[in-house]
Amino acid sequence: MLRHLPAMSDLAIADLHDPALSQRLQQCTDQKTKPPGSLGRLEALAIQLGQILGSDRPRLTAPQMIVCAADHGITAQGVSAFPADVTWQMVQNFLAGGAAVSVLARQHGVALTVADCGVRHDFAEGAPGLLRLKIAPGTADSSLGPAMTADQCAQALANGRALVQSLPGNVLMLGEMGIGNTSAAALLLARLTGRESGAALATCVGRGTGLDDAGLARKCTVLARALAANAEAQTPLAALAALGGFEIATLTGAVLQAAHERRVVLVDGFITTAAVMVACALAPHARQRCIFAHRSGELGHALMLEHLHAQPLLDLGLRLGEGSGAMLAWPLLVSACAILNDMASFESAGVSDRTDRPSPA
């Protein structure tokens, strides 16, 4: 039984609803030298960025990509096509600059922070670029009982909050690494949306790192056992501790802190959206700060997006994780702000506006 889960009442996340600001942003967008709505969703993105940052001239500063890594005890049940050692090996790859997210972050000049939240490996002391937030060398096997103790979950949430507090800028991008973490994300999706049995559970469970049909069936069976073994974990925090992972809990804390600080949160794929689901269950206004980079190819991500009423920016069939989708979507945020701040208006450019537009108030 999980007890002593932390209260989040000390973390104020206000409603961003500001009709006057929204009207100014809409007017500013409409008065650019273009037919209204002709830049499609880029216009809505520009308005959302202005709403998050509280300005009709939003500026994105010092964007930060965080990749939180951890291992999962449930991998002992054969839920992944890859061995658990890949987690620490990929952390080394991030640090060496060879992973997809490393390449993309370097391409776009985005700061990358890699955090060991619970990897089953002892990294060299002083490994450059690695933030040490390890709580334990991997979670327990959630198919047998809670993945984390309440204290471990609380520490992971606190670590995520402290991590964001230590970083500059007003944009946080979410990334992760952890063999077995599609199982943890699927479990959280099933518990938080009530899709816990039979065919409903199967809609939450994907092939992860590339399971064949037999492996996928085995994964569904194992996850059903995990849900049954943790049937009492019904609140969002209890579910996070019982079914989640150290990296997911750390990301949940990071989302809550970023929302509190009114940062833009650029969400990657299936795993990071699971963290956002928990954060929004704890603090619904956190959702207002979130921009969803892409629709993952992992089965279940579409259900998460539907649950959060989210429309992703991209749909490229990605299912790598790491934060790669968030990095690919980042230039769209830059462009949206540039259009809002730098594009001429009809008046400033001396271009004739359409004749049926009402005059601005």
**Tell me: the pLDDT tens digits for 171-187?**
999 999 999 999 999 99
**pLDDT of 304 higher than 70:** yes
Is 43 in the same domain as 102? no
How far apart, in whole angstroms, are the C-alpha atoms of residue 244 and residue 128? 28
Overall pTM surpassing 0.75 (yes/no): yes
How many domains does the chain contain in total?
2
Residues 6 or more apart whose CB falls under 8 angstroms from that of 350 comprise none
Q: Is residue 98 part of a domain?
A: yes
Query: What is the DSSP pairing of strand 64-70 with strand 111-118?
Result: parallel
In a domain, 142, yes or no: yes
Residues 36 and 75 in one domain: no
182 found inside a domain: yes
Rounded Cα–Cα distance for residues 276 and 290 (Å): 8
How far is Cα 154 from Cα 6, in angstroms, rounded to an integer? 6
- Please tell me whether residues 53 and 123 are part of one structural domain: no
The reply to whether 135 falls in a domain is yes
Q: What is the pLDDT of residues 29-62, one digit of tens each?
A: 999 999 999 999 999 999 999 999 999 999 999 9
Q: Which domain holds residue 316?
A: 64-331
Residues 6+ apart with CB under 8 A from 275: 174, 248, 249, 251, 252, 254, 255
Least confident of 3-7, 94-98, 185-189, 200-204: 3-7
Question: How far from chain centre, in Å, is Cα 68?
Answer: 11
Is 304 part of any domain?
yes
**Lookup: tokens for 84:** 């658990």
Question: CB–CB of 302/321 below 8 Å?
Answer: no
Kindly tell me if the per-residue pLDDT of 7 is higher than 50: yes
| Active site members | 322
